[in-house]
A = this chain, B = another copy of it.
Amino acid sequence: MINKQQILKKRPVGLPDKETWELIESKIQELNDGEMLIAQEYISLDPAMRGWMNQTRSYIPPVELGDVMRAGSVGKVIKTKGKTLFQVGDYLSGWGGVQNFCITKGENFHKVDPSRSSLSSYIGILGMPGMTAYFGILEVGEIKEGDVVLVSGAAGAVGSIVGQIAKIKGCRVVGIAGGKSKCNYLTEKLGFDGAIDYKNENVAKGIKKYCPKGIDVYFDNVGGEILDSALIFLRKNARVVICGAISQYNSKSNIKGPENYLSLLVNRASMKGMVVFDFAPKYSIAMIEMAGWIKEGKLIHKEDIYHGIENFRETFLRLFSGEKMGKLILKI
């Protein structure tokens, strides 16, 4: 059996290009005792992956040159040797990487049940993006009923869930997304109270229009100019959740720092960073609550699925061009 793997070959400056990864093919090695062979079905594509490619201190070590590109995934155990953590036929989610098959002892995998929710949902709404949204808006953003919540990257895997959870909790929710169709999706399908099209509108004017009394919580996935616009409209004791900075990940020059950060002082506001892994002990509680909301029709999730490990780079770049909607997934 042949495995196809996307190997990190060269650290990119700016957007990943054709030299960044190399697709290699190799025969699958024999298993050692305790190892399992997973046939991967879905690979998760997330903006955070861009950060893992840089040779800088971060919340997890960088992907090393020559290693399979790190990615979350979900797949099925098709072979085991000796005593293993999981059995043939089990569906597992974990860090399978960008490859067709994965050999692992399973320490960083957990069992999922495709009869309860679609397999792909375990890397989406019930996976890292869903958990990020849940803990980010509830525990870091500390929303309460009546809050005005602004979210950027609002049509994305995290932002779309953030906004819906805030609606469930009785907040007024405004999203920022790129393009008319995404904005329509937010207001017409997801129940957002307003949507600002940053590609065609002035964001500051949009915030002023939809949040005339200012913002209590800003959930930031993008950084850059949009973060700066949001800071202008903070209310007293506002909370800014720094979840990501997708506009800056491929910057070839310095990161753009938020010029309006003194709004934190004037408004006694806070800006707090989050890493979803910190909440791992509570994932199961979140998954139960989220599954309930999905069942009740209060939480909608959209997946944008592309095919083939060969198309990994082109698909990954959609994260940064905005040419995707909801959770971006590569099907093997």
Contact = CB atoms under 8 A, between A and B. Distances in A.
B264 A271 contact: yes
A262 interface: yes
A275 interface: yes
A320 interface: no
Q: Chain A's interface: helix, strand, loop or mixed, by majority?
A: loop
- The copy count of this chain in the complex is 2
A57 B257 CA distance: 21
| Candidate in A258, A260, A266 with the most chain B CB atoms within 10 angstroms | A266
A273 B278 contact: no
A259 interface: yes
A27 to B, nearest CB: 39
Q: Which 8 A-B pairs have the closest CB atoms?
A: A257-B257, A265-B273, A264-B273, A257-B259, A270-B272, A257-B258, A271-B271, A255-B259
Size range of the interface on A?
20 to 34
Interface in A266-285: 266-275, 278
Contacts of A261: 242, 255, 257-258, 261, 271
Contact of A272 (B243, B263, B269): B269
A125 interface: no
Contact of A264 (B263, B268, B272): B272
A275 B268 contact: yes
A24 B268 CA distance: 36
